């Protein structure tokens, strides 16, 4: 499509959840016509520091994108999701906080290995888990909007 705009495929395809774009999924949640899906997680596993850093950066970038999109749908009058970076400590971290709770994504390193972790109040998150892939943050933010 050459209409002078840049089009990202994710914004024009039906999602794996069959509802449309992510922003359509946010609207459906806010309208009460859909519920957030289960958050896909994996058992936390150590990996090389460069691999873990790449994954954490991908998750942090995706978090910024989906929070911005969700908050655009919610608008100024609604309860929005916050994205807060954690500074200091022994690793990298960020927190997503909304009316439905909060989730913390962290990366820790020791002895040349690193691991990612997610903890929080969203069902399925915690107890030694990490997100299955960065796009799962869409589902996390849907839970936080509830």
Interval 41-56: pLDDT, tens:
999 999 999 999 999 9
Q: 17 lies in a domain?
A: yes
pLDDT, tens digit (0-9, with 9 covering 90-100), for 86-95 = 988 778 999 9
Q: How many CA atoms does the CB half-sphere of 80 hold within 13 Å? A: 16
- For the chain, the domain total comes to 1
DSSP state letters, 107-121: EEEETTEEEEEEEES
Q: 1 lies in a domain?
A: no
Which uninterrupted H or E stretch holds 92? strand 91-98
Whose CA is closest to 69, among 143, 141, 144?
Answer: 141
Supply the pTM of this predicted model. 0.85
pLDDT, tens digit (0-9, with 9 covering 90-100), for 84-142 = 999 887 789 999 999 999 999 999 999 989 999 999 999 989 888 999 999 999 999 99
pLDDT of residue 16: 52
Q: 4 lies in a domain?
A: no
Domain that holds residue 113: 9-144
Q: 2 lies in a domain?
A: no
Average pLDDT of the chain to the nearest whole number: 87
The pLDDT of 13-28, averaged and rounded, is: 73
Q: 121 lies in a domain?
A: yes
């Amino acid at each position: 499509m050459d209409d002078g705009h840049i089009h990202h495929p994710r914004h024009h395809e039906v999602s794996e959840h069959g509802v449309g774009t992510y922003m359509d999924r946010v609207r459906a949640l806010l309208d009460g016509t859909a519920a957030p899906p289960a958050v896909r997680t994996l058992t936390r596993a150590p990996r090389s520091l460069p691999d873990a850093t790449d994954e954490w950066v991908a998750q942090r970038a995706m978090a910024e994108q989906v929070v911005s999109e969700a908050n655009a749908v919610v608008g100024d009058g609604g309860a929005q999701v916050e994205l807060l970076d954690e500074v200091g400590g022994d690793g990298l971290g960020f927190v997503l906080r909304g009316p439905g709770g909060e989730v913390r994504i962290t990366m820790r390193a020791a002895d040349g290995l690193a691991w990612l972790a997610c903890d929080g109040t969203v069902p399925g998150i915690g107890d030694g888990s990490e997100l299955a892939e960065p796009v799962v943050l869409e589902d996390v933010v849907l839970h936080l909007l509830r």
